[in-house]
Amino acid sequence: MKHVKVCVLRIEGTNCEDEAATAFASVGVSPEKVHLKQLLGQCPSDLKRDLGSYDILMLPGGFSAGDYVRAGAIFAARMKSGLKKDIVRFVEDGKPVIGVCNGFQILVELGLLPAMDGTMSEAPEAALYTNDSGRFECRPTLLKQEKRGKSVFTSQIPKGSVVMYPSAHAEGKLMFPRAQQKKMLERLLENDQVVFRYVDPDGEHAGYPWCPNGSLHNIAGICNPAGNVLGMMPHPERVLKRETHPDWTRVKWKEDGDGLSIFRSAVQSVR
Amino acid sequence: MALDHLFFKRDVPFPLVDIDLAKATDAELKVLSKDMGLSLSLDEMRRIRDHFVSLKRRPTDVELESIAQAWSEHCCYKSSKVILREHIFGIDNGKVLSRGDAGVMEFDDEYGYALRIESHNHPSAIEPYGGAATGIGGIVRDVLCMGAQPIALVDPLFFGPLDHKGELPAGAKTPKYLVSGVVAGIRDYGNRIGIPTVCGGLYFDESYLGNCLVNVGCVGIVKKKDLRNNAVGGVGDYLILCGGRTGRDGIHGVTFASAELSSKSEDESRGAVQLGDPITKEPLIHACLEVNSLGLINGMKDLGGGGLSCVVGEMALSGGCGAEVDLDKVPLKESGLAPWEVWVSESQERMMLAASEKNVKRILDLFAMWDVDATVIGKVVPGKHVTLRWQGVQVFQVDLDFLTKGPEYCRPCKIETPSKTIKEVRPLLPDTKTVLLDLLADPNIASKEWVFRMYDHEVRGGTVVKPASGMMNLGGPSDATVIKPLPDRERGLALALGVNPWFCGLDAYRGGMASIDEACRNIIAVGGYPDSFTDCLNFGNPEKPERLGELKQAVAGMGDLARFLNLPVPSGNVSLYNETAKGSVLPTPTVLGLGIVEDVRRCITTDLKKEGNLLFLVGETKEEFGGSAVYRRYGAKGGVVPEVIPERLKRSMDEMHAAMKKGLIRSCHDVSDGGIAIAVAEMCLGGDIGAEIKTNYESWYLFSESNTRWIVEVEPSKEKEFLGCLTIPVTKLGKIGGRSLRIKTEVDRTRIPLKEMRKAWSGALPKLMG
């Protein structure tokens, strides 16, 4: 079996890298937590790393650079200025890229999502806007897998099934420029880019609190048209085992948490 | 009074003043202490004067300021140490690994866990957002400097009533403004540094109107081999200051914390409140842990109260050495700071490392990769002096023994127990349904979901029992939260708070015991077993004998019970002078209890699980209503404060724990504020199912807050085995089912629909906060 290398990328304020690394370690591969400056060569020489040498790239959650300009904007700008070519090549090689929470915001800021007209758009085409409640929302969320075709991240999550990945963010409402909102959504659906949508316990698309942010069309996660770049607000890496689910003391016990399947799928796709 | 004749400006190109203490009269010493913001007493000023007279020289402003920091109540616990030593210190069951800036206890063969709680009361009363945020920053550094990865934050908060209409003490801010600011400060700082805020409390009482209490706790995990002393390794070590830059924010923080608040505090002490920067802190945590785990450093300590002036002296002294520091090498936020300001500034996000010369370059390189400043500012030398230079000029040289052996007082103490002197006046209660709904909507009992949903309580992916237990988005309260610190191990830590200021106000000794009892029963309720405590003692002005009496009694109660249980208190914090012209806060000893959970997959939560299961009350209900929620709500007076029988608590803990390990208990909730009635109601809310309970007493016994009690759910098939496990009192209450809570007493029957209970419980806080 191929030795799979995973890059969990971080800068100051990235704060979900430990559990992101644990997620990949739980499915039998060896992840490495890498600082952006290690890819840019701005570090002691023994710590330098090459993005191309990895098979999977993960952008974990957090508040990169404090999110003081716009969530994810600074991390994205720093990646774009020093690493654009490497990233484009990585994506065009079909290698999986996953961004969770702040990582999703970074992928949108980078133009790697929704990327309807090419690998990476020049400017961001969408935004993850302040939640309708106006507050940070840390709560359980249920997601229905709605991708019609195959994707490298969902081979182990059947279409129509519901998973519990918790959310924790203040800016997770997916929006397009108002005038193009309807058209962009249609294209997104047509391209089969909608992967996860928020639902209630009956599996119905529901409002707050089940959709914690008021996102367009209840969208929780999208991929690029090729299906190898995935961004999502909820955190699969927080539910690797059943005991971190919110209601695990009430339901029938099983060992695995819902989050594992997404990482299993990604690893399987590159093996 | 003009003191100009005592000040001699030194002829150097920077501000430096020699102060002629030898010539100062007593009256002048007093004024000097006040004008310079030293918060030192006349006796203390005389002691400093005599010290420098014996050295035959005048102290510099840097020296005088530095001594004031070291001798502040905040830094040297001069009023409380005698009491703490008698009752709390030294309980040791062989599992204490360290009593440094944070306590460290054994977690398993390979790991220890670090714990500490402290206050950030006065800064938060002046500037709630910044005060609370930097409170989190400070407690995280205390855990970090043990070499531990912070894994959880805890924050019990105390304010005046949200609906307070009348006048406020001069200079005080409205409770609603303070709650918003403090919660936002914790949210923005805790969420950004990525440490989950998992446990807390919101308490409201008139006594906190002018002086809110913001207590912040942190727990960490550390490999035993990475555990660090807060000391230098030895002569020749380099002192590396890392993290944030130093500025004028947070000057005189500790001396400000050691005085009562007044209407002038806002103007005079705004500069004492530090400014937090979580995005400097977050990489600072990574960088410090990385250089530590690589074995590159010999010691580490955080810069908190007193800033550099405390950290250099304490680190050097603990390592049996002295130090020389080039103070002008400290990176500054702005130019133009005087040496004394640099020396005592409490600017945030700073850590001091001690490292051998051969490791310095690698450390600086690693910090550079994280874009975190790290600067060598001095060196460890033989002897017992700390010497400071500024542009080559010596500005400070003090003997560490003199500096760090601050005064210690055995102040006069008057012990009063109001519950014994106030005549009990029972309240006239409305019908049981009204009482229950009123209590569910009491802000001290109502759901705190409005707060904890804004805190990321799941980051790091190890939160097993969360602040809410039960149906998704419908959960009831949890007794303790449970964290799984290590991804590859199922062993966990239970974190629970215990505090009841109203009990303490009436009977500080029983109140102190009750805080330990509450923390223990909360830990037992989730399936853990109590292991250690850390405490934050918030009291009034210790120079008033009644206030000090409260402290002494509460600490005695806590200490007696902890000692009986043989559970150590390896860290803690004392916050005195929580007092305004209108009076003192209620005596508030906050206890954070830590418990070991052998296998987190066996945890128990509070939510009712299944129709038809039975409900039992474990423990004994007595006529103890002093300080209870029902007495407070309906204007009663006095009453007996619930006692704790140590032997009973210990036996209850052991038997309950054994029953849980056998899998006999499906859900469990401790009985506290609002008594049995509220405990059962909360369990119904979490499980979104009703229950029927019967009692042979009058209904108001349902609201007694006697200690050492739990409500448990047991499957009918396991009733016999469960009862067989217990020798402590246990009573069958009823069974689970329906969509309402039905209460039958000797005299009446009450039925309260779930819907109405949820509206009262969930709606109260959002409504008050608007």
* DSSP string for residues in B688-750: T--EEEE-SS-GGGGG---SS-EEEEE-GGGHHHHHHH--S-EEEEEEE-SSEEEEE-SS-EE
Report residue B393 as tokens: 């000029």
Report how far residue B698's alpha carbon sits from residue B706's, in angstroms, rounded to the nearest whole number.
16
> How many CA atoms lie within 13 Å of B291's alpha carbon, on the beta-carbon side?
34
Report how far residue B138's alpha carbon sits from residue B250's, in angstroms, rounded to the nearest whole number.
12
With CB atoms and an 8 Å threshold, state whether B470 touches A250. Answer: yes
User: Residues B154, B216: contact at Cβ < 8 Å?
Assistant: yes
All residues of chain A having their beta carbon less than 8 Å from the beta carbon of residue B464 are 243-244
The pLDDT value given to residue B700: 79
Report residue B753 as tokens: 């629909």
Report how far residue B33's alpha carbon sits from residue A81's, in angstroms, rounded to the nearest whole number.
56
Based on its alpha-carbon atoms, the radius of gyration of chain B, rounded to whole angstroms, reads 27
All residues of chain A having their beta carbon less than 8 Å from the beta carbon of residue B280 are 12
Report how far residue B687's alpha carbon sits from residue A247's, in angstroms, rounded to the nearest whole number.
10
Instruction: Give which of B150, B187, B346 is closest to B251, Cα–Cα.
Output: B346
Any CB–CB contact under 8 A between B669 and chain A? no
Q: Which amino acid is at B279?
A: I
CATH class of B8-74: mainly alpha
With CB atoms and an 8 Å threshold, state whether B279 touches A63. Answer: yes
The pLDDT value given to residue B269: 64
Report how far residue B769's alpha carbon sits from residue B760's, in angstroms, rounded to the nearest whole number.
15
Any CB–CB contact under 8 A between B296 and chain A? no
Report how far residue B769's alpha carbon sits from residue B754's, in angstroms, rounded to the nearest whole number.
24
Report residue A201 as tokens: 């316990």
How many other C-beta atoms lie within 10 A of the C-beta of residue B671?
27
Which is catalytic among the residues B5, B51, B74, B164? B74
- How far lies B119's CA from each of B135, B213, B492, in Å? 7, 7, 26
The pLDDT value given to residue B278: 87
Q: What is the DSSP secondary structure assignment for residue B487, as one 8-state letter?
A: T
Which is catalytic among the residues A7, A101, A211, A223? A101
How many structural domains is chain A composed of?
1
A243 closest CB neighbour out of B365, B460, B464: B464
Q: Which amino acid is at B625?
A: F
Nearest-neighbour CA in chain A from B268: distance (Å): 31
The pLDDT value given to residue B39: 87
- Per residue in A16-29, pLDDT tens? 999 999 999 999 99
Residue A1 has pLDDT above 80, yes or no: no
Report how far residue B633's alpha carbon sits from residue B625's, in angstroms, rounded to the nearest whole number.
12
Report residue A264 as tokens: 């299993």
The pLDDT value given to residue B267: 64
A12 closest CB neighbour out of B279, B470, B484: B279
Which residues on neighbouring strands pair with residue A8, listed in sequence order?
A33, A58
Instruction: Give which of B387, B247, B384 is closest to B325, Cα–Cα.
Output: B387
All residues of chain A having their beta carbon less than 8 Å from the beta carbon of residue B475 are 246
The pLDDT value given to residue B72: 87
User: Residues B30, B42: contact at Cβ < 8 Å?
Assistant: yes
Residue A68 has pLDDT above 90, yes or no: no
The pLDDT value given to residue B37: 86
* Angle formed at CA A222 by CA A220 and CA A225, multiple of 5 degrees: 165
B459 closest CB neighbour out of A44, A65, A168: A168
Beta strand spans in chain A (E): 5-10, 30-35, 56-59, 97-100, 127-130, 137-139, 142-145, 162-164, 167-169, 171-175, 194-199, 219-223, 229-232
How many other C-beta atoms lie within 10 A of the C-beta of residue B57?
12
Scanning B591-630 for CB atoms below 8 A from A yields: 600-601, 603-605, 607, 609
Report residue A116 as tokens: 């309807």
Report how far residue A69's alpha carbon sits from residue B326's, in angstroms, rounded to the nearest whole number.
37
* Angle formed at CA A250 by CA A244 and CA A251, multiple of 5 degrees: 85
Which is catalytic among the residues A17, A171, A235, A245? A235
Beta strand spans in A19-112 (E): 30-35, 56-59, 97-100
Which residues on neighbouring strands pair with residue B465, listed in sequence order?
B482
All residues of chain A having their beta carbon less than 8 Å from the beta carbon of residue B603 are 243, 249
Report how far residue B449's alpha carbon sits from residue B382's, in angstroms, rounded to the nearest whole number.
55
Lowest mean pLDDT: which of A37-41, A63-67, A150-154, B9-13?
A63-67
With CB atoms and an 8 Å threshold, state whether B456 touches A168. Answer: yes
Burial zone of B3 (CB within 10 Å; 0-12 exposed, 13-18 middle, 19+ buried): middle
Contact partners, residue B358, CB within 8 Å, separation at least 6: none
Give residue A230's region: left, alpha or beta (phi > 0; psi -120 to 50): beta
Closest A-chain CA to B195: A15
With CB atoms and an 8 Å threshold, state whether A136 touches B456. Answer: yes
Burial zone of B382 (CB within 10 Å; 0-12 exposed, 13-18 middle, 19+ buried): exposed
β-strand pairing of A5-10 with A30-35:
parallel
For the segment A225-232, the average pLDDT, to the nearest whole number, is 97
Contact partners, residue B205, CB within 8 Å, separation at least 6: B158, B160, B161, B501, B502, B586
Domain ranges of chain B: 8-74, 606-765
The pLDDT value given to residue B631: 96
Report how far residue B167's alpha carbon sits from residue A36's, in angstroms, rounded to the nearest whole number.
54
Q: What is the DSSP secondary structure assignment for residue B173, as one 8-state letter?
A: P
Nearest-neighbour CA in chain B from A103: distance (Å): 14
User: Residues A12, A64: contact at Cβ < 8 Å?
Assistant: yes
Provide the CATH topology of domain B606-765.
Phosphoribosyl-aminoimidazole Synthetase; Chain A, domain 2 (3.90.650)
With CB atoms and an 8 Å threshold, state whether A250 touches B460. Answer: no
Report how far residue B455's alpha carbon sits from residue B478's, in angstroms, rounded to the nearest whole number.
16
How many other C-beta atoms lie within 10 A of the C-beta of residue A103?
30
Instruction: Give which of B555, B546, B540 is closest to B509, Cα–Cα.
Output: B555
Instruction: Give which of B149, B141, B103 is closest to A17, Cα–Cα.
Output: B149
All residues of chain B having their beta carbon less than 8 Å from the beta carbon of residue A140 are 472-473
The ipTM estimated for the assembled molecules is 0.96
How many other C-beta atoms lie within 10 A of the C-beta of residue A180?
13
Residue A245 falls in the annotated catalytic set: no
Any CB–CB contact under 8 A between B145 and chain A? no
Any CB–CB contact under 8 A between B484 and chain A? yes
User: Residues B388, B343: contact at Cβ < 8 Å?
Assistant: yes
Report how far residue B604's alpha carbon sits from residue B185's, in angstroms, rounded to the nearest whole number.
32
User: Residues B7, B384: contact at Cβ < 8 Å?
Assistant: no
Report how far residue A100's alpha carbon sits from residue A172's, in angstroms, rounded to the nearest whole number.
11
Q: What is the CATH number of the domain that holds A158?
A: 3.40.50.880
Report how far residue B763's alpha carbon sits from residue B45's, in angstroms, rounded to the nearest whole number.
55
SS3 B112: strand
Report how far residue B484's alpha carbon sits from residue B646's, in angstroms, rounded to the nearest whole number.
30
Closest A-chain CA to B365: A44
Burial zone of A206 (CB within 10 Å; 0-12 exposed, 13-18 middle, 19+ buried): middle
Structural domain for A100, as ranges: 5-270
All residues of chain B having their beta carbon less than 8 Å from the beta carbon of residue A249 are 469, 603-605, 607, 609, 667
The pLDDT value given to residue B615: 98
Residue B120 falls in the annotated catalytic set: yes
Closest A-chain CA to B368: A43
* Angle formed at CA B247 by CA B245 and CA B250, multiple of 5 degrees: 115
Report how far residue B710's alpha carbon sits from residue B653's, in angstroms, rounded to the nearest whole number.
10
Report, as ranges of residue numbers, the positions in chain B whose pLDDT lies below 50. none
Report how far residue B271's alpha carbon sits from residue A253's, in angstroms, rounded to the nearest whole number.
54
SS3 A98: strand
Instruction: Give which of A74, A102, A99 is closest to A169, Cα–Cα.
Output: A102
Any CB–CB contact under 8 A between B460 and chain A? yes
Residue A71 has pLDDT above 90, yes or no: no
Nearest-neighbour CA in chain B from A93: distance (Å): 29
Report residue A4 as tokens: 């799979």
Edge-to-edge strands of the sheet including B730-736? B667-670, B710-714, B614-618, B730-736, B691-694, B740-744, B749-753
How many other C-beta atoms lie within 10 A of the C-beta of residue B63?
25
SS3 B37: coil
Q: How far is CA B392 from the centre of its chain?
A: 42
For the segment A180-193, the average pLDDT, to the nearest whole number, is 96
Total residues belonging to chain B: 770
Which is catalytic among the residues A109, A146, A237, A245? A237
Q: How far is CA B78 from the centre of its chain?
A: 19
Give residue A228's region: left, alpha or beta (phi > 0; psi -120 to 50): alpha
The pLDDT value given to residue B764: 97
